[in-house]
Amino acid sequence: MTKRTKKVTLYDTTLRDGTQAEDISLSVEDKVRIARALDELGIHYVEGGWPGSNPRDIEFFKAMSKEKLRTARLASFGSTRRPRTRPSVDANIRALLKSGTPAVTIFGKSWKLHVKKAIRVSLEENLEMIYDSVKYLKKRVDTVFYDAEHFFDGYREDPVYALKTLSAAEEAGADCLVLCDTNGGTLPFELARVVSEVLGRVKTPLGIHAHNDSETAVANTLAAVREGVRHVHGTINGFGERCGNANLCSIIPALKLKMGLDCLGTRQMRKLRETARFVYELSNLPHSKHQPYVGESAFAHKAGIHVSAVVKSPETYEHIRPELVGNHQRVLVSDLSGRSNILYKAREYGIDLESDSKVVRSVLRKLKNLEHQGFQYEGAEGSFELLVEEALGKREKCFKLLGFRVIDERKEEGKAPYSEATIMLEVNDVVEHTAAEGNGPVNALDKALRKALERFYPSLKEVELIDFKVRVLAGAKGTASRVRVLVESGDSTDKWGTVGVSENVIEASWQALVDSLEYKLYKDKKRGASPRG
C-alpha cells in the first residue's frame, strides 16, 4: 500500500445541507457573509446552494461572482439529469452551469430501493444518468464531485450494484467519489469496513459525507479518514437536516490535534470558535453551550476538586488546550477568572487597567449585575468599552434628553402603518426639537435622534445602522419577559455592536442606539489623540 497524504480537504455544506435544518433560513446577504467567514477560516470548498431547487440560491451565486475569495472555491449542488432527458436540456444541470462555480457537486442514487421506489427507472438507466451527467459537466467545469447518495444503505442491500454506480461516475471522469451516509444510520465500525472494501475497488479519491442520526457523524467521518479518505464534508456547528451533518467544528481539531493530519493552519484554527458563533448569530439561534471544543462550557470547570487540579495543571481535566480553537478555560462563578477576563478584554481595547485594581473590581461588579439582567457583551463590544470608560470616570454624555414620543398609526385596512417620532434634547444649553418618520417606531426614533444630534456632531452623518436584532429573554414563569436589542453600526472604517435590555422594546432599542452614537464620538476622539486608534 502506498503511503497516504497527510492533507485532508475540507468541504463545507453549511449553506446547502445546513439550511435544510428545520429552523435555519438564511438570506442571500447572510449566506455571502458566511461564505466570507468560511474562506477566512481556510475551508477549501464552500457548497453554496442548490440553484435548481431554490431561487434564493441563484441570487447567491450571482452575488458571489463579485466576491474575491482567498482559499475557498465555490461549489454548486444538484442532482443527476432526469430520466429520458439529455443533460444539455436538463433544467437542473443548466442551472448548475449557470451558477458559474469552479466546482460542481452532483448526487446520484446508489441504493436499489431508491432507484425503484423514488425515481422509478431501471437499474441500467440509473447508471446512464450518472455517467451522462458527470461526463457532460466534466467537459464544462473544472472540478466535478460525485455524491453517492445513500451509499452505505445501498451497499448493505447490494454491494455489487452500489459499486457499479461509483464506477459509472469514475469512468465519466469524476474528481472525487463522495460516499454519503444520507440517513445517518450507519455505525462507525460498519462504515469503516465498507470504506476499506471500496478503497480496494476504485482508483478515484473518496470523500465522506455523514449525518448525525445515530449521534456518530463525527466518529463516522474520522473512521473514514482513518481508512484513508481525504475529502471530508461537514457543516459549521453540525447544522443540517433532521439531526444535522457531521460537525466540522469537532472534526477539524480531531484531525489536526489527535490524528496528526493537515487541514487548516494553526492560526486559522484559532478562528474556529469565532466562526461557530458567527454562524449561530446569523442563523439567529442561541449558541450551544455544551458544544465540544467551541462551546461556552467546553472548558468550564465548576468549583472544587476539578478547579484546584486544573489550576495546577490544565491537562488534568482538559483534553486539548482551549486556545488552539480560540476558546478559553472558564472557572465558573469565580472572582479570579472574572477579573482576568476584564483585564484581558481591556488590554484588547488598548486600555491599561492592570495597575488600577479598584476599577477592575468595579467593572466586574457592574458587569455581573448587568449580565444577570440579561445584557450580553459578546456582540456588543462598543457598549462594553463605554462601560469601562464609565468605570474610569471618563465617559462623556453627548446630550441631555428632554423627551421623545413615537406614534405608529394606521388609518385603514391594507394600508401600511405610518411611524413618526418627535424628540427634544439639549446639548450645551442649546435645545433642539425635531421629528422624523421611519419604517416602524425604532427606525423613526433612530432617525429623529440623529437628526437632532447631527447639528452638534456632524460626524454622526457617517454612522449607518447595519443590523438590528431583538431577542426575548425567557424569565421565570409568571414574570414579564425582557427583551434584548443588539444593534450593529458602522462608518467608513469600523463596525461596532451595542446592546440594550428592558421589558419595553422601545427602551431597549433606545439604550442600544444611544450607545451606538456615543461610541462613534468616543472612537473619533480616541483616534484624534492617537492616529492609529
Q: Does 479 bind a second copy (CB under 8 A)?
A: no
Q: Does 78 bind a second copy (CB under 8 A)?
A: no
Which of the ranges 2-10, 127-135, 165-173, 405-413 carries the binding residues for a second copy, by CB under 8 A?
405-413
Could you say which residues in the range 274-303 bind a second copy, by CB under 8 A? Answer: 284, 289-293, 295-303
Cβ neighbours of 354 (radius 10 Å): 10
Which of the ranges 36-44, 96-104, 212-220, 448-456 carries the binding residues for a second copy, by CB under 8 A?
212-220
Site string for a second copy, 101-130 (x = CB under 8 A): ------------xx--xx------------
- Residue 422 sits at φ, ψ, to 5 deg, of -115, 150
How near is the Cβ of 312 to a second copy at its closest, in Å?
5
Euclidean distance between the first and the last CA atom of the chain, given in angstroms as a whole number: 57
Which of the ranges 202-210, 348-356, 407-415, 427-435 carries the binding residues for a second copy, by CB under 8 A?
407-415
Q: Does 429 bind a second copy (CB under 8 A)?
A: no
Could you say which residues in the range 351-370 bind a second copy, by CB under 8 A? Answer: 368
| Packing angle, helices 28-41 and 55-64, rounded to 10 | 50
Instruction: Choose which of 146, 151, 496, 510 interacts with a second copy (CB under 8 A).
Output: 510
Nearer to a second copy, 138 or 517 (CB): 517
With beta carbons less than 8 A apart as the criterion, state whether 489 and 466 touch: yes
Residue 323 DSSP class:
G
Instruction: Choose which of 40, 454, 507, 524 interacts with a second copy (CB under 8 A).
Output: 507
Nearer to a second copy, 274 or 318 (CB): 318
Cβ neighbours of 318 (radius 10 Å): 15
Instruction: Choose which of 100, 159, 173, 185 interacts with a second copy (CB under 8 A).
Output: 185
Q: Does 476 bind a second copy (CB under 8 A)?
A: yes
The greatest distance separating any two alpha carbons of the chain, rounded to the nearest whole angstrom, comes to 87
How near is the Cβ of 37 to a second copy at its closest, in Å?
15
Nearer to a second copy, 138 or 380 (CB): 380
Cell numbers of 275, please?
A: 466562526
Q: Whose CA is closest to 294, among 241, 346, 262, 253?
A: 253
Nearer to a second copy, 147 or 175 (CB): 147
Q: How many residues does the chain have?
A: 533
Nearer to a second copy, 86 or 368 (CB): 368
Residue 2 DSSP class:
P
Nearer to a second copy, 101 or 502 (CB): 502
Which of the ranges 16-24, 124-132, 262-270, 516-524 carries the binding residues for a second copy, by CB under 8 A?
16-24
Residues touching a second copy: how many (CB under 8 A)? 129
Q: CA 61 to CA 28: how far, in whole Å? A: 9
DSSP H or E segment with residue 444 = helix 441-454
DSSP H or E segment with residue 73 = strand 73-79
Please name the residues in contact with 151: beta carbons below 8 A apart, sequence gap of 6 or more: 110, 111, 162, 166, 179, 180, 181, 182, 194
- Residue 12 sits at φ, ψ, to 5 deg, of -95, 130
How near is the Cβ of 188 to a second copy at its closest, in Å?
5
- State the DSSP string of 158-172: -HHHHHHHHHHHHHT
The residue with cell 440594550 is: 500
Q: Does 213 bind a second copy (CB under 8 A)?
A: yes
Q: Is 358 exposed, middle or buried (0-12, 13-18, 19+ CB in 10 A)?
A: exposed
Q: CA 383 to CA 514: how far, in whole Å? A: 10
Which of the ranges 14-22, 264-272, 273-281, 386-394 carries the binding residues for a second copy, by CB under 8 A?
14-22
Nearer to a second copy, 17 or 175 (CB): 17
How near is the Cβ of 272 to a second copy at its closest, in Å?
13
How near is the Cβ of 55 to a second copy at its closest, in Å?
6
How near is the Cβ of 76 to a second copy at its closest, in Å?
15
Nearer to a second copy, 175 or 331 (CB): 331
Cell numbers of 399, please?
A: 446630550
Which of the ranges 17-25, 158-166, 446-454, 519-527 carries the binding residues for a second copy, by CB under 8 A?
17-25
Q: Whose CA is closest to 76, among 31, 55, 46?
A: 46
Three-class DSSP category at 260? coil
Instruction: Choose which of 174, 224, 406, 517 interacts with a second copy (CB under 8 A).
Output: 406
Residue 71 DSSP class:
S
Q: Does 440 bind a second copy (CB under 8 A)?
A: yes
Nearer to a second copy, 175 or 436 (CB): 436
How near is the Cβ of 518 to a second copy at its closest, in Å?
14
Could you say which residues in the range 315-344 bind a second copy, by CB under 8 A? Answer: 315-320, 332, 334-336
Distances (CA, A) of 279 to 33, 236, 276, 392: 9, 7, 5, 34
How near is the Cβ of 264 to a second copy at its closest, in Å?
17
Helices (H), 183-271: 188-199, 217-227, 248-253, 266-269
Instruction: Choose which of 242, 347, 455, 525 interacts with a second copy (CB under 8 A).
Output: 242
The residue with cell 466576491 is: 67
- The dihedral over CA atoms of 268, 273, 275, 277, expressed in degrees to the nearest 10, equals -170
Could you say which residues in the range 441-470 bind a second copy, by CB under 8 A? Answer: 441-443, 467-470
